[in-house]
Chain A
Amino acid sequence: MKWLENFIFNINESAFKRYVVIAMTLISLVLTVMMLPAEMVLARMLPGKSTNTYSIYVDTPTGSSIQETKQVTDCVIDILKQEKEVTNAEVFLGQGSPLDYAGLVKGSSLKQGENVAEIVVNLTDKHTRDEASFSMVKRLRPEIQSRCEPIKALTNIKMIEQPAGPPTLASIVLEVYGKDEQSIRHMAQQVAAVFKETKGLVDIDIIEDEIYQKFELIADAEKISRSGVSLEQLNNILYLAFEGMEIAVKNSQNSPDQIPIFLVLSDSSKQMNSFSKRALEAKISALKLMNKKGMMVPVNELVNVVEVQSSPSIFSKNLRKMLNVVAETDMVSQLYPLLDARNMMIERFSEQYEVKKVEGMSTYMFDLYLTDKSSGKQFLLRWDGEMKVSLDTFRDLGGAFIAALVLIFLLLVIYYKSFAISGIVLGGSFLSIIGVLIGHWIANLFTADTFFLTATSLIGFIALMGISSRNSLLLIDFTKSLINEKGFEKNRAIAVATATRAKPILLTAVAIILGSALLATDPIFGGLGVALISGTVAAVIISLLFVPVLLYKTRAI
C-alpha cells in the first residue's frame, strides 16, 4: 500500500491537484444526478416480480348473461391452451377467484353477477421456466384482448399480476370528482380516451355500470284493486315465475345440507321470443293471478310495459361523488405515462375547461382542477393507485433519509466536537449517490427490460450513508491518533492512515459487494443490490481519495 500512501501524499502537496480531485468529484456528481431528468435512469416504486400464477379478470357489460360471459372466458381459455408453460387454468364464472393479495384491494371478493368472471392461470415453476410471468402477460395481453373482447361489445379484459409489494387498485387510478353523475360519466370517458392514446398504458377501464335497455312494468292501481288482487301478489308471482324461489326445504339424513324445493317456470315457458316490448307483453299475458273470488286475471291487464334505460350505480369516495378511471402500465414505470397523459389532458381540456394545476410540492401535486367554461361545472382529477403509494413512499423515505442525515451529523458532532469533520464525513457519504445512479444506469444497459430505480434502491442508498461514513470515520480516527500519539506531520499522517486503512475498507467493501451480489439478481431487491454494490465502489473511491483531500484543509485535525 506504499503507492497509495505516496499517491495521496503527492496530491495533498499540490494545491492544483487537490482542486482537480474536488472538481472531478463535483462534476461527476452533477452529471450523474442529471441522469434522472434525462430519463437515463427510470424510477418506479417496485418492479414486477415473476411468479407462478396470474389472473385474468373478465367483465362483460352490465346486463350480460352468464352464457355471454362464458363465451368470452372460453375464448381466453382457448388462447391459454396454446401456451406450453401453463399447467392449469381455472375459470370462476359469476364470482371472484379464491382471494389473493391483488384481489383484496381490487374488490374480487365482492364480485357477483352474471357479467363477471375471473380466470386463474398457474404456470410451471419459475426456476425452470425461461419466460418471466410478467413477460408472458405482456405478450398475451394484446392477443387476448384483440381476440376475445370483440365477442361481446364493451367487454373489458384485464391481466392481473401479483404485486411485488403492497397491492393497489391499479397502477394508475384517476379519480374524477364532480357534482352530478352525468357529467362525471362524461368526463371519465374523456379521460379514458386520453389514457387510450397514451403510450405504455393498457387495460384501461372506467369502473362504472354500462347503461342498458330494460323494461318497467308500471302497475295500474285502479285495475289492480278492481280485479281483487294485490300488488304484493303480482310482484311475488312475477319473481316466482321467472327467477324462481325456494318455497320449501326438506331435511335429509344423508345430505350435508337441507334440500330445497325450487319452483320456477320451465325454460321453454320462460323464454321470450325476442328482445322487445311486444314479446314481453305476450309472455305476461299467459301468466295469470288468481283473485279472491277464484277468478284468473292475466298479468298484462294489470300493468303497462314501458321500455327504459337502466340507472347505473353511483360511486362516492369520502362523501364526494366520483368515478375511477384505471389503467395498468405495460412493464414501464407509472410515472412517465402519467405525466404524458396529464400533459395531453391539460392540452386537450383547456379548450372547453379552465385547467388549474396544484401549486407546490405534495403527493397531490399532479392533480388537476377543471372548470367548464360554459356551464361552470367543476371537476377534480385526482391521481391515486400505485402512483399515490409511490409518491407517499418516496416522500416518507426521503424524510427518513433526511432524518438519518441529521442524526448521523449530530452523532458525529458529539464524537468529534467539530462541525467541519462531521460535514466531511456526511458529504463524503452523500456522494455515494454517484455510484448508485451509475450502477442503475449500467444495470439497465445489461437488462433486457428496464432496470428501475426503486424504493429498495432508496433503502440501499440510505444504508450506504452509514457504510461510507464508517469508512471515513476509521480514516479520520487513525489519522488523529497518528498525529496525536505518534507525532506524525499532518499530510503524512493522512497519507499513512489512508494506506493503512485501505485494507479493512476494501475488505468490508468486498464483503458488502459479495453479500449483495445475490440480491442484485432478485427482481424486487435488485435495486437494493445494485445500489449497495455500485454505491460501495463509489464510497471506497470517495473515502480513499476525496475525503483525504478534504481532510488536508481541515483545521480541526
Chain B
Amino acid sequence: MSRENDISKIPVNDYAGRLAKTFLYNPLTPILAVFLLSIGYLSLVIMPREEDPQIAISGGTILVPLPGATPKEIDNIIIKPLERKLREIAGIEHIYGVATDNVGIINVMYKIGENREDSNLKLYDKVMQNMELLPKGAMQPLIKPFDIDIDVPIVSIAFYLKETSKLSNVELFKKIRNIQQDFNEVENVSKTTLKGEHKEQFNVKVDLFKLSGYHLSLGQIMKALQSLAVNVPDVKSKVKDGGIMIFGVKNAIESIKDVQNVIVASYMDSPIYLKDVATVEKSFDMQNYKSAQITYKQDDGSFSPTQEQITINISKLKGTNAVNVAEGVIESLHEYSAELEAEGIGYIVTRNYGERANEAVNELVSHLLITIVIIAIVLVIALGWRESLIVTFTVPAILAITLFIAYLSGQTINRITLFAFLLSLGLLVDAAIIVIENIHRHMHEHDALNHNKDEIMITATDEIGAPTNIATLAIILTMVPMAFVGGMMGEFMKPIPYNVPVALFASLVIAYVFTPYLANKMLKKPKMYHHQHHFQKETTQESSS
C-alpha cells in the first residue's frame, strides 16, 4: 500500500501518465483485462457473420399491365404520367422506364442510405394515390420493393433425379415442396423460392381436325369443362327435430377418367366425349417454358448428362447470422437424406454464403493471429521477450474492445469489418510499442539508478503521452472523413471509418493502462553500466523524487 501513496506524488502532465498512475497498483487492473478479453471473445462468437456488408439499397419496381397496348402507347399513357408523379418523391436518385408490348415497367432507385421502409412506403403511397391516372383497361399495378437481405438467397440447393429414380419431375416437385416447408421453419429464414419446378396439371390437347369433323368449337369444350369443375361450400339445412344436416356437391372431376369422359356435345344423338376430340393427360404445366438443368462432375471425373433439376433458394432475415441460418438449413436437409436416397433424388448445395462468410471470417482471423505472432517475434529480437509479450497482449485487448463496440452498434462481422481490423493492426501496436520502448530506454539509461521502477513506468509513459495522443488523433482524423464518402462504395466501406478510430482510441487507452502495469510486473531493472554522452556532461541531473 505504501507504494501507492508514493507514486501519487510523481508529477504527470498528460492523460497517459495519469492513467498509468491510476492503474499501476490497482487490484482491478487484471480483472479488467480478463473482462475485456471475454467480452471480445463473446462478441466474436455471437456477432452475426456475413460475407459482404449490408448496403442499404432501396428501390422498387412498378409493373402496370395493359393488355394489347404497343410500346408507344404504354410510354405515353402509363410510363410518362407515372414518372412525372414519381418525381415528386424526395430521395429518388434514378427512375428507369421500360415500355414494352402489353406492360409498362418502372424501376426506381433511391439514393444510397435512404431508409428502406420509408422508401417502400413512399413508393407504394405515390402509386396508390395516383391510381386515377392509369388508363382504362390497365390492370392493378404491381409494386415490388427490392431488398438485398431478403432477395439475395444465402443458400441454394439443386435437387435432381438419379438414373435409378422412377419419379417424374412433378413428383420431385411435390417432395421439394415438403422440404421447402421445413426450411421455412428454420430460425431466421425469411423467404424460400423454387426455380425449375413443374407443377401438376391436366393437359387437354384438342385436335383441330377432329373438332371440325364433329362440328364443334373450342368455346364449347371450354364451357363443358368449366361447368363440371366447380367447387362449392357445403350447404346445411335444419332437420325436423332441430338438428342440422350438412350436404355438399363434390367437384365432378376427380381423376383423369372424369376429364376424359366429359360429354362436350351430342352428335346424331350419341354423346361426344372429350377423349374423342382431345388427348387428356395428367402431367406438368407445359405452358411454363421456364426450366432448370444441372450437370455435375461425377466421382469418376466425367460430367453427368445435363438433366432437369429444381433449385430451392433460401434467404435470411436482415441482421441475422448467415452462418447459423445456413447451418440450420443444411441440418434440416440432412434429416431428409435417407428418404431422398431411397427415392433416388440427388442434391447439390450450389450456393452456401454462410460457409463462405465463415471461411472468410476464419481466414481473416487466422491472418490476424499470424500477424500478431510475426510482430511479437520481431519485438523479441528488438526489445526482449518480456517486452514483446506485453505488446502482444495489448492486441487482443484492443480488438476485444473494438469488436464489442461494433457489436453494440449493430454491425456484423464481414469482409470489410475484418479488413478494417487488419488495416488497424499495424497501427494498434504502435502506441504500446512507443510506450514500452520508452520504458525500455529509460530503464537502460544511466540515470535509471536514481529512480524506482514504478516511477520510471509512469514518467516514461507520461513523457511520450502528448505526442502519441496527437499522432493517434491525427490518424483518427484521417479516417473520419471517409464516413462521408457517398454512393455505393462509401456505404460498402463504412466499417472502416466506424471501426478504425474506435480501435485506435482503444489502443491508446490500453497502451497507457496495461503496458506500464505489465512492465512493472514483468520487467527487471538491468544492472547499470555507467556511460554518458560526451556532450551531456554539463547537463544537471534531475532531482529524484
The finding on whether chains A and B are genuine partners in a shared complex, rather than unrelated, reads: yes
- Interface residue B174 (Cβ < 8 Å from any Cβ of A): yes
Residue of B nearest to A93 (CB): B291
CB-based contact A519/B433 at 8 Å: no
Select which of B96, B348, B429 is within 8 A of A508 by beta carbon: B429
Looking at A261, A463, A525, the one whose CB has the most chain B CB atoms below 10 A away is A261
- Interface residue A433 (Cβ < 8 Å from any Cβ of B): no
- Interface residue B199 (Cβ < 8 Å from any Cβ of A): yes
CB-based contact A466/B476 at 8 Å: yes
Residue of B nearest to A112 (CB): B290
CB-based contact B467/A474 at 8 Å: yes
CB-based contact B219/A92 at 8 Å: no
Select which of B95, B423, B434 is within 8 A of A519 by beta carbon: B423
- Interface residue A362 (Cβ < 8 Å from any Cβ of B): no
CB-based contact A120/B350 at 8 Å: yes
CB-based contact B152/A251 at 8 Å: no
Give the chain B neighbours of A122 by CB distance below 8 A. Answer: 350
Q: How many residues of B contact A (CB 8 A)?
A: 148
Tell me the chain A residues, 260-306 only, with Cβ under 8 Å from chain B: 260-269, 286-290, 296
CB-based contact B485/A88 at 8 Å: no
CB-based contact A45/B433 at 8 Å: no
Select which of A84, A247, A269, A476 is within 8 A of B222 by beta carbon: A247
What is the CB-to-nearest-CB distance from B355 to chain A, in angstroms, rounded to a whole number? 10
Select which of B105, B251, B311 is within 8 A of A90 by beta carbon: B311
Give the chain B neighbours of A45 by CB distance below 8 A. Answer: 489
Residue of B nearest to A384 (CB): B94
Tell me the chain A residues, 91-119 only, with Cβ under 8 Å from chain B: 91-95, 97-101, 104, 109-110, 112, 114
CB-based contact B429/A393 at 8 Å: no
What is the CB-to-nearest-CB distance from B368 to chain A, in angstroms, rounded to a whole number? 9
- Dominant SS among interface residues on chain B: helix
Q: A89-B295, A400-B485, A528-B423 are in contact. Are A317 and B96 (CB under 8 A)?
A: yes
CB-based contact B478/A508 at 8 Å: no
In the assembly, what is the distance between CA of A233 and CA of B371, in Å? Answer: 77
Of the listed stretches A33-41, A348-356, A407-415, A545-553, chain B binds A407-415
CB-based contact B482/A518 at 8 Å: no
- Interface residue B414 (Cβ < 8 Å from any Cβ of A): no
Q: How large, as a class, is the contact surface on chain A?
A: 35 or more
In the assembly, what is the distance between CA of A473 and CA of B98, in Å? Answer: 59
CB-based contact B351/A314 at 8 Å: no
Give the chain A neighbours of B151 by CB distance below 8 A. Answer: 99, 104, 109
Select which of B218, B254, B311 is within 8 A of A240 by beta carbon: B218
In the assembly, what is the distance between CA of A287 and CA of B278, in Å? Answer: 15
What is the CB-to-nearest-CB distance from B515 to chain A, in angstroms, rounded to a whole number? 13
- Interface residue B36 (Cβ < 8 Å from any Cβ of A): no
Of the listed stretches A132-140, A144-152, A444-452, A509-517, chain B binds A509-517
CB-based contact B489/A166 at 8 Å: yes
Q: A262-B202, A316-B97, A474-B471 are in contact. Are A99 and B485 (CB under 8 A)?
A: no
What is the CB-to-nearest-CB distance from A386 to chain B, in angstroms, rounded to a whole number? 10
Tell me the chain B residues, 460-500 only, with Cβ under 8 Å from chain A: 463-464, 466-468, 470-482, 484-493, 496, 500
Give the chain A neighbours of B215 by CB distance below 8 A. Answer: 296
Give the chain B neighbours of A74 by CB distance below 8 A. Answer: 306
Looking at A262, A263, A269, the one whose CB has the most chain B CB atoms below 10 A away is A263
What is the CB-to-nearest-CB distance from B276 to chain A, in angstroms, rounded to a whole number? 13
Give the chain A neighbours of B536 by CB distance below 8 A. Answer: 486
In the assembly, what is the distance between CA of A263 and CA of B229, in Å? Answer: 13
Select which of A87, A110, A112, A263 is within 8 A of B225 by beta carbon: A263
CB-based contact B485/A396 at 8 Å: yes
CB-based contact B306/A466 at 8 Å: no
- Interface residue A462 (Cβ < 8 Å from any Cβ of B): yes
- Interface residue B427 (Cβ < 8 Å from any Cβ of A): yes
- Interface residue B8 (Cβ < 8 Å from any Cβ of A): no
In the assembly, what is the distance between CA of A548 and CA of B230, in Å? Answer: 95
CB-based contact B434/A474 at 8 Å: yes
- Interface residue B322 (Cβ < 8 Å from any Cβ of A): no
What is the CB-to-nearest-CB distance from B434 to chain A, in angstroms, rounded to a whole number? 5
Q: A91-B306, A515-B426, A518-B371 are in contact. Are A248 and B229 (CB under 8 A)?
A: yes
- Interface residue B340 (Cβ < 8 Å from any Cβ of A): no
CB-based contact B219/A407 at 8 Å: no
Give the chain B neighbours of A236 by CB distance below 8 A. Answer: 219
- Interface residue B293 (Cβ < 8 Å from any Cβ of A): yes
What is the CB-to-nearest-CB distance from A461 to chain B, in angstroms, rounded to a whole number? 9
- Interface residue B516 (Cβ < 8 Å from any Cβ of A): no
What is the CB-to-nearest-CB distance from A438 to chain B, in angstroms, rounded to a whole number? 19
Q: A94-B290, A100-B152 are in contact. Are A88 and B434 (CB under 8 A)?
A: no
Other A-B pairs, 15, CB within 8 Å; known A250-B202, A256-B178: A88-B296, A88-B348, A92-B196, A92-B311, A98-B350, A240-B222, A247-B225, A248-B225, A255-B174, A296-B215, A399-B481, A400-B481, A407-B477, A508-B429, A511-B378
Q: Which 6 A/B pairs are nearest by Cβ-Cβ distance?
A: A466-B475, A470-B471, A515-B426, A512-B426, A166-B488, A248-B229
Interface residues in chain A, defined as those with a beta carbon under 8 Å from any beta carbon in chain B? 45, 52-53, 66, 74, 77, 80-81, 84, 86-95, 97-101, 104, 109-110, 112, 114, 120, 122, 165-168, 209, 233, 236-237, 240-241, 243-251, 255-257, 259-269, 286-290, 296, 310-319, 389, 392-393, 396-397, 399-401, 403-404, 407-408, 411-412, 415, 455, 459-460, 462-463, 465-467, 469-470, 473-474, 476-478, 481, 486-488, 492, 496, 500, 503-504, 507-508, 510-519, 525, 528, 532, 536
User: Please, could you name 6 A-B residue pairs with CB atoms under 8 Å apart, sorted by A?
Assistant: A90-B350, A98-B350, A264-B204, A311-B72, A389-B489, A459-B423
